[in-house]
Chain A
Amino acid sequence: MTFFFAIGTTFLNFALGLALALVLGDRRMRGQGIYRFLLIIPYALPGILTILVWKGMLNTDFGLINQVLGVNIDWLNDPTLARFCVLAVNLWMGFPYFFLVCSGALTAVPADLKEAAFVDGASGAHAFRTVILPLLLVATAPLLVTTFAFNFNNYTLINLADRRRAVPRQPHRRRQHRPAHQLHPPDRLRHR
């Protein structure tokens, strides 16, 4: 489970970050600086704060998400939903990092290589797949490994979905003593 979470979240974050870097990296676009600044704000905030805020927003009775959707879903206690939420929250927290890294790495890809690919008749997607992506992966592979290792141990985030009982479980109440021959076998086992 940990393994799949770490793989999945790394991939998702990387994919979204890369996609945004590609979309916003166009030189015809104005206001890139503003967009970049606003998009990396989640990365600049302390993670512990944002995790707790998400926990509040996903609250069953008073959370913002349920209010907006007009439903009453117990997001964090259902195992499937909780996994989905953890992935989504981590995507929110993690994509700015890869957005930063990918947009930096994209500018580092030499322009003449791209040009050569286009001259040789490659379409945009083809040039991206065969020229830009490998160069990008070379640049970001160590960061991907690092992110994977970090998320493998991401205790802070999983705390989001920890199931704390509203009423602490009562300590096992001691039965009244009965002679051993009146007990059923399981009870006898329990009393040993």
Chain B
Amino acid sequence: MLIFVIVGTVSVYGFRLTNATRGDRPMSTQTTPFPLDPDKPGIDAPVGGGPQETIKAERMPFGRWMRLVGWRHVVAVIFVIWALFPVFYVINLAFSGGNTLTAACPPDRQGFAALSCIFPTKSSFDNFTNLLHSDQYPFAIWFRNTLAIAFINAFAALFKGVAAAFAFSRLRFAGRRLGLLLLMLGPDVPGRPRAHRDLRPDDPDPKGVCGLRHQHPRGLSLVYLGGALGVNTFLTKGYFDTIPVDIDESARIDGAGHARIFFGLIMRLAMPILIVVFFVSFQSTFNELPIAQVVLPDHGNTTLAVGLRSLVANPLIQQWGLMAAGGVMAAVPMFIVFLLTQRSLVTGMTAGAVKG
């Protein structure tokens, strides 16, 4: 509901936000060579008046404002609508109480009338309760599996990638360049064949490896641990290279060993890229479908991705309402993680890439 309020405010006030209010400056504002800022007194302000006249800037005429700034708002609002209408649609579908696509949008609405389907009409929790009480689709188990695997994998990938990056960035050893190259090539192996090759879930060997035989989520997280090393290491190494080696050396003179330098200095200085690696690993594990489909094909005990897909995979029994409800619930932890990491994402991504 909060989102609706925000969007409504933006779409209505999008044009008026500009000159009327002086919000705080977003962080990306960079000085441009031509400071034509209408609110700033100084260059354009009339010179020679009293002190109060120099403070008050003249209001820009609408045509000029439109040409300079306004069209940007128009573009932004169009793209915001484009970016958000599927989100509204799924929220509407989840709360519609029906299990079919027509529940969100009755077929008698055609053309522009159908556009109103993205606004919620009902607030029924039937889909949520049905899904949570369903015996056939144990949503709680999917949720638990996915969260556990995603968190474990994100932390493990973080530690793994950072350790490898530290070695590649700070130590000099034979095969360093070749190792980096191979790391970059690693993730290019498509996931599904890789899963089949590594696991062979239909292997008749009764012992199996670490529960893979029994299609246990533990096995899936083990598989994930094998992948996604390359990109993380590469990004992190790029970031580490921007941290001066002098810091290491001075610490070493003060008596610090490798472990001390690694945990005490580098990992703290490189926090933005660590957050990026964490988020990217979390997200990719959360959304991973092909390998999960191979390892945990049974929807009694699987991940959210496989489970949600199984709700609508059969063309004869497509439970769109349940899927939407489950998706909305699944989006919550992901969104929280995103909000927590959002600040550092931009800085980390670009800074790590600069020297990559």
A residues near B, CB below 8 A?
20, 23-36, 38-50, 52-57, 59, 62-64, 67-70, 92, 96, 100-101, 103-109, 111, 114-115, 118-119, 138-143, 145-146, 149-150, 152-153, 155-156, 159, 164-166
Using CB atoms, name the residue of chain B closest to A45.
Answer: B331
22 pairs of residues in contact across A and B, judged by CB atoms under 8 Å:
A20-B79, A24-B75, A26-B69, A26-B72, A29-B69, A30-B18, A34-B6, A34-B10, A35-B76, A44-B334, A56-B101, A64-B105, A64-B117, A96-B83, A100-B349, A103-B346, A107-B27, A108-B351, A142-B356, A146-B231, A153-B188, A155-B289
B14 CB to nearest A CB, Å: 7
A39 to B81, CA, bound (A): 9
Please tell me if the beta carbons of B289 and A48 are within 8 angstroms of each other in the complex: yes
B24 CB to nearest A CB, Å: 8
Please tell me if the beta carbons of B80 and A53 are within 8 angstroms of each other in the complex: no
A54 CB contact (under 8 Å) in B86, B101, B356: B86
Please tell me if the beta carbons of A111 and B354 are within 8 angstroms of each other in the complex: no
Contacts A105-B350, A108-B350, A149-B187 known; A49 to B238 CB distance under 8 Å? no
Please tell me if the beta carbons of B28 and A41 are within 8 angstroms of each other in the complex: no
Using CB atoms, name the residue of chain B closest to A162.
Answer: B313
Residues of chain A within 8 A of B101, CB atoms compared: 56, 59, 62-64
Please tell me if the beta carbons of A27 and B87 are within 8 angstroms of each other in the complex: no
Residues of chain A within 8 A of B162, CB atoms compared: none
A44 CB contact (under 8 Å) in B18, B335, B347: B335
A112 to B134, CA, bound (A): 62
B residues near A, CB below 8 A?
6-7, 10, 14, 17-19, 21-34, 36-38, 68-69, 72-73, 75-76, 79-80, 82-84, 86-87, 89-90, 93, 100-102, 104-105, 107, 109-112, 114-115, 117-118, 184, 187-188, 190-192, 231, 234-235, 238, 283, 286-290, 304-305, 308-309, 312-316, 320, 323-324, 327-328, 330-331, 334-335, 338-339, 342, 345-347, 349-351, 353-354, 356
Apart from the given pairs A41-B83, A42-B86, A152-B190, 12 other A-B contacts in the complex at a CB distance below 8 Å: A27-B37, A29-B72, A30-B18, A31-B17, A31-B23, A33-B26, A39-B79, A39-B80, A48-B308, A52-B309, A68-B115, A153-B188
